[in-house]
A and B are shown apart, each in its own frame.
Chain A
Amino acid sequence: MNTIKPSICLSETSKNALRGIFRGAFLTTLAALSATIPAGAQDHDFITVVSWGGSYARASVKAHHERFEQETGIQIKLDEYNGGLAQIRAQAETGNVSWDVVDMQAGDTLLGCDEGLLETVDEDTLPAAPDGTPAAADFLDVYDVECGAKSLVYSTVYAYHDDRFPEHKPTTMADFFDLDKFPGRRGMRRAPNANLEFALVADGVPASQVYEVLSDAEGVARALRKLDSIKDQVVWWEAGAQPPQMLADGEVVMSTAYNGRIFNAWALEGQPLTIVWDGQVQAITYQVIVAGTSKLELARQFVAFATATRSLANITRYISYGPLRHSSIALVDKHEETGVAMGPHMPNAAQNIANAVHEDPDWWADNQDEMNERFAAWLIK
């Protein structure tokens, strides 16, 4: 008999909690020690680059980290995080900056810049396109920041497991919230971000008016009411690697997720997962430099390299995130390992953007704290 099989399967949530605990302990110790111990001699042969882990970090390594190391002889130490400014703030306050370049979301970039945690990045210092178009004209006209180089557009979408819905397939954001038509547990990120937008789109708000409605006092309550309708069927996730896993394990029938993670599970692991693009929330990432780094020149060199035409185009050979340079978009071709044409899988491909929400970093910067609070209050209700 082999029915009872103990297996150690630490969930991502637990891993994150563990990581949080260690990080907290580490930062406290760091803060206590760094006041007394002078910084030792810095090793200038490497820089620390921080990214989001999982298949995205892997894509960055293959797309340009390896090439950067070969061409410059500078080693890259890869670290990972789950967004937010907490670690950078702690490094700045203790005067012990150990991160050099970070792959950062728009809202954090905005805040970090205002708080003086990030170096300014001048677009004129970034490399021009191969045909000579200056960088400023080559980058897409999306949200401009002072402290970051535009990198990629990714999107939060929802995806479902084909086998769970053999006949009728979900096609709209409203279907995600429809437990009668599509019964089963749903995965959602344990944060208000994107979920509020999804709820309003599902409730019939046109994608272009989502933030207008959210700015209204009644708007957030309306979004939370919509979320209420599926609350007891939701399994909350935190790290981007969790949703494909939960879908594959059958823990949920559909889940919100970052589109690149779903693509990789589908393309590389052959998981029968389908993305529903309706109501996708598009967001932008930047390459930023942590203020106070002792390797400012190397960091600038890396940022210029990582956001050059070829590097951004290369990313699309490993993951379906859209480059923010016109010259890179022209180079989007096939997936390196499977030969899948990448064009249709880009968040900003023509057939995917019909009802896309463009994340408003200003709105989130203004309301993140209050939304976190209201979301936490809603969760424990």
Chain B
Amino acid sequence: MFNKPRTTAILLALPLTAFILVTFVAPLGSMFMRSLYDPLVADIMPGTVAALAQWDGTGLPSEQVYALAARELERAREERTIGKLATRLNRDTSGLRSVITRTGRALKRKGGAPWSESLPTLHAAWGEPAIWQALARTGARVTPVYYLNAVDLTFDGSGAIVRQPEERRIYATLFIKTLRVSLTITLLCLIIGYPVAYLIAQAPPRQGRLLLVLVLVPFWTSLLVRTTSWIVLLQQQGVVNDLLVWLGLAPDDQRLTMIHNMTGTLVAMTYVLAPFMILPLYSVMRGIPAVQMQAAASLGASWPRAFYRVYLPQSLPGVGAGCLLVFILAIGYYITPALVGGQSGQLISNFIAYHIQTSLNWGLAAALGCVLFVAVLLLFLLYDRVLGIDRMRLG
């Protein structure tokens, strides 16, 4: 009948479920949609796109297609959607923007049947197959083109998948760079974090708490404040350079460039992410009984040997958790590289932001985001296969 505890449980879980749906599932879903589904051209020029589906892709289409295109361009101009159409086509082939907008402007004054003759007089591009191929390509509602672009591939005129011309290849390089930087940062965090966590775990409770607070206070401080404080430290007229010059280690006119480049990104991100390494490590290390090391020593093991055979294996779940946390956070990091990365220190997320905010190519931004998402997911699965996710301990 009426199961009261169960209803209560469902009701209690409802806000959280709704929250996850609204803030996590829905945005991810809509982003995924955007990266694949692009109905713009098909919506503005439905007749032309449908007619072009019958076209063999070589030579020029029939008068009927020309007439449809002319009518739909004129309507787009009246409804002021022609600019969006032009932008979309221009993304496919640079130069089509002005073909579309100029044709739109001249259509009423100078156009007329037969359209296969009058359209090319408005703009010579209508007499070439390229623009029709572009219309056919972009007319598909579901398109893999954003994913192709996200890995530096594209369609050529005949619809075959080819690599982007060399001068336009960015994203594959950036993905690899982002992975490399994230791995470097993870490694740096581990090298810095392990001894710190060890120290905190080994220290007497009072000092241990103090050390832990020293880790936590910056962790609780605003990310922006911590990032910009690195600018104060590392800039050319900054504290570190002043110190080096004062000590005579660097001449005044050759101050080191340590910020607004990759060095800045590495330093600041390692610093910002270090607590995510230290905290899981510490919580695991705290659970390792100190007597075990003493027992190993009393059985004749030197300290390095005891550490290697007894302590290190037991701390591995913490290492795994810390590395996974730091790596996944680093791979999507955006604010710190944007502030201190200059040009060479930009990562893939900065370009996603660029396409969202500046170029307004949201399809490409979504595809880049999805590629990143899948990459993280794969790494996570790999981690699970190799180390086992159930062995991970976050504290």
Contacts and interface: CB of A to CB of B under 8 A. Distances in A.
A377 B167 contact: yes
Given A86-B357, A366-B97, A378-B167, A6 B90 contact: no
B87 A115 contact: yes
B84 A6 contact: no
Interface of chain B: mostly helix, strand, loop or mixed: helix
Contacts of A373: 168, 170
Contacts of A6: 232, 238-239
B358 interface: yes
A367 B356 CA distance: 19
Contacts of B87: 111, 115
A376 B95 CA distance: 19
Interface in A79-113: 84-86, 89, 110-113
A5 B237 CA distance: 9
B90 A377 contact: no
B210 to A, nearest CB: 26
Nearest to A21: B335
A24 B356 contact: yes
A194 B272 CA distance: 37
Interface residues of B, number: 54
B342 interface: yes
A278 to B, nearest CB: 27
B184 interface: no
Interface stretch (B52-60, B75-83, B379-387): B75-83
Interface in B21-72: none
B84 A115 contact: yes
Contact of B338 (A4, A11, A17, A372): A17
A29 to B, nearest CB: 12
B143 interface: no
Given A6-B232, A24-B353, A115-B83, A366 B98 contact: yes
B151 interface: no
B80 A380 contact: no
B207 interface: no
B80 A7 contact: no
B105 to A, nearest CB: 9
Given A21-B335, A114-B86, A115-B83, A9 B168 contact: no
Contacts of A20: 338, 353, 357
B94 to A, nearest CB: 4
B83 A9 contact: no
Interface residues of A, number: 50
Contact of A89 (B228, B245, B335, B360): B360
B173 interface: yes
A138 interface: no
B98 A369 contact: no
Nearest to A86: B357
A120 B211 CA distance: 65
Interface centre among A13, A84, A112 (most CB of B within 10 A): A13
B224 interface: yes
Given A20-B338, A370-B168, A380 B344 contact: yes
A23 interface: yes
A380 B83 contact: no
A84 B361 CA distance: 13
A13 B344 CA distance: 14
Given A8-B228, A14-B231, A380-B344, A114 B338 contact: no
B359 A10 contact: no
B174 interface: yes
A221 interface: yes
B168 A377 contact: yes
19 contacts: A6-B232, A6-B238, A6-B239, A9-B237, A13-B260, A14-B231, A18-B339, A20-B357, A21-B335, A111-B83, A112-B83, A114-B86, A115-B84, A116-B81, A366-B96, A366-B97, A369-B91, A377-B168, A377-B170
Closest 10 CB pairs of A and B: A114-B83, A115-B83, A116-B80, A17-B338, A370-B94, A377-B170, A3-B246, A4-B242, A366-B98, A14-B339
